Amino acid sequence: MGHPDTQLQPPASTLALDHYWMPFTPNKDFRAHPMLAVKAEGMYYWNERGDKILDASSGLFCVAAGHARPEIADAVRKQLMELDYIPPFLRGHPKAFELAGRIAKMTPGDLNSVFFTNSGSEAVDTAMKIALAYHRARGEAQRQVFISRERAYHGVGFGGVALSGLTNNRRAFGVGLAGVAHMRHTHIPQNRFQRGEGDHGAELAEDLSRLINLHGAENIAAVFIEPVAGSTGCLVPPKGYLKRVREICDANKLLLVFDEVICGIGRMGSNFAAQSFGVTPDMLTMAKALTNGVQPMGAVAASERIYRAVIDAAGPQAIEFFHGYTYSAHPVTCAAALATLDLYEKDGLFQQARALSPYFLDAVFSLQDLGIVTDIRGYASMAAFDLAPAGVPGARGHELQKRLYDSGLHLKTTGDTAILAPAYVAEKQHIDQMMELLRKVLKTA
Ligand SMILES: Cc1ncc(COP(=O)(O)O)c(C=O)c1O
């Protein structure tokens, strides 16, 4: 069904597809089978033919308040005409400070110093540099080893790639930065089809102790963890796992960084997953839903201890941290983020998502009756299911997302795993429609 206001674009067949080198996309396949969108509103996209496509993944985990929110668009336009740009180095503008204050209020503990970036990847690399700067400021410059986990996704900067635990993201680029050790992931068969935190696997946190024994606590800067690993397919931590990781970090003076680029800003039922799981990190990265996806923005919230150590180590006129981006705290992006946070608050969207969560998880877990589905996981407003591979690993997942898009459902897949993360404005009818479309396509997969 076409959107009534859609001014249809030329059909894909007449659009030249030759010059855009697409990210994380099989470009040849896309050109043979383009999947475009020309309009979005609420829970839906529309393609160039006017077909309506339900968005089951909040775009890419970012459009949490639904598409085309006039409140955000108005704030962006107003800011563009008021103060379109000012350098973030040696200059400031009020909204950057206001936004940092808003974020500091949302974070747990004393994660009160907020550094702005333009993406999740930049937030991760920034957090790595802050960790190094912190230890150097304290006279422990030798702490340069980072610890991450298998199956982790920490973006595409060289730092994030070195932390990455996803083979394809690493293997084409050599080993990237040296000095990253990986704990095992927690995706273990004993927790198959378990909703929420797994009953098994908390002991995998002891991998951290083993790596400390191997590398020496005095050489390790920080441990990076996605509280719920998102891009790899919603790997929910086993009960007690994150608390144990925190204890081991404390005992060895390692910084704990939660990469909440997907988990943060309401996705896990609280402001941040740190609050959902009752574990406070020393730094927390965020991006995505911070601006409802309409402007690129990431951020790192660091504890007062970290901020003070780095700032106080430098002289009064000295730049304390040689790092930043031309578009850090861009005025238009800050305006978008403030309008987004206002919306979440005013419309009670985190609460709305929390209220829908049991219905959403029931629905996704009901797919267990399909033989092709080999595991399901879920927590709050994110869930994933694995498909039995057919042929080359990932081929079935890739085919699935194509067929779903053609059938009216946009869904993120990684390999043979499908990940659902509906916007917080989703209602039961949208979940029902997601399941109906999924069942229809999965039955013929
Ligand atoms: C945990 C995590 N970290 C970092 C990133 C990278 O964010 P971006 O794509 O904005 O660079 C992502 C993206 O999905 C992510 O999930």
Q: What Rg do the C-alpha atoms of the chain give, in angstroms? A: 22
Tell me what pLDDT residue 6 has: 46
Residue 341: how many CB atoms within 10 A of its CB? 22
Give the per-residue pLDDT at 10. 53
Residue for token digits 């042929």?
391
State the number of CA atoms in the 13 A half-sphere of 282 facing the CB: 25
In terms of Cβ atoms closer than 10 Å to its own Cβ (0-12, 13-18, 19+), residue 409 is buried
Q: What pLDDT does 167 receive?
A: 83
Compute, in angstroms, the gap from residue 155 CA to the centroid of ligand 1.
Answer: 4
261 touches ligand 1 (CB under 6 Å): yes
CA dihedral 54, 56, 59, 63 (to 10 degrees): 100
Domains of the chain from N-terminus onward = 4-65+348-442 (3.90.1150.10), 73-345 (3.40.640.10)
- Amino acid making up residue 26: P
Q: Which two tokens stand for residue 63?
A: 């459009």
CA of 315 to the centre of ligand 1 (A): 34
CA dist., res. 378 & res. 269, Å (int): 12
Question: In one letter, which amino acid is 5?
Answer: D
Using CA atoms, how far apart are residues 25 and 18, in angstroms rounded to an integer? 14
The number of the ligand 1 atom at minimal distance from the alpha carbon of 120 is 7
Q: Is 117 in the pocket of ligand 1 (CB under 6 A)?
A: no
> CA 261, CA 265: separation in Å to the nearest integer?
9
349-365 and 331-346 helices, crossing angle to 10° = 70
pLDDT in tens, the chain (445 residues): 344 444 555 555 678 999 999 999 999 999 999 999 999 999 999 999 999 999 999 999 999 999 999 999 999 999 999 999 999 999 999 999 999 999 999 999 999 999 999 999 999 999 999 999 999 999 999 999 999 999 999 999 999 999 999 888 888 886 556 789 999 999 999 999 999 999 999 999 999 999 999 999 999 999 999 999 999 999 999 999 999 999 999 999 999 999 999 999 999 999 999 999 999 999 999 999 999 999 999 999 999 999 999 999 999 999 999 999 999 999 999 999 999 999 999 999 999 999 999 999 999 999 999 999 999 999 999 999 999 999 999 999 999 999 999 999 999 999 999 999 999 999 999 999 999 999 999 998 7
- Hey, how many other C-beta atoms are within 10 angstroms of the C-beta on 358? 10
C-beta of 119 in contact with ligand 1 (< 6 A): yes
Question: Strands, E, within 19-92: which ranges?
Answer: 39-41, 44-46, 52-55
Distance (Å, whole) CA 281 – CA 279: 6
pLDDT of residue 175: 59
* Chain-centre distance for alpha carbon 136: 29
Please state, in angstroms and as integers, the Cα–Cα distance from residue 335 to each residue in 101, 119, 261, 406, following that order.
Answer: 14, 16, 19, 35
Pocket of ligand 1 contains residue 153 by CB under 6 Å:
yes
- The residue to mutate among 125, 288, 333, 414, having the most atoms of ligand 1 within 8 angstroms of its beta carbon, is 288
Which residue's CA is the nearest one to ligand 1's atom 8?
120
Q: Are 226 and 242 in contact (CB under 8 A)?
A: no
| Distance separating alpha carbons of residues 312 and 388, to the nearest angstrom | 54
Q: For residues 1 and 10, is the Cβ–Cβ distance under 8 A?
A: no
User: What atom of ligand 1 comes closest to residue 263's alpha carbon?
Assistant: 1
Q: In what order do the strands lie in the sheet with 44-46?
A: 39-41, 44-46, 52-55, 409-410
Does residue 420 contact residue 411 with C-beta atoms inside 8 Å? yes
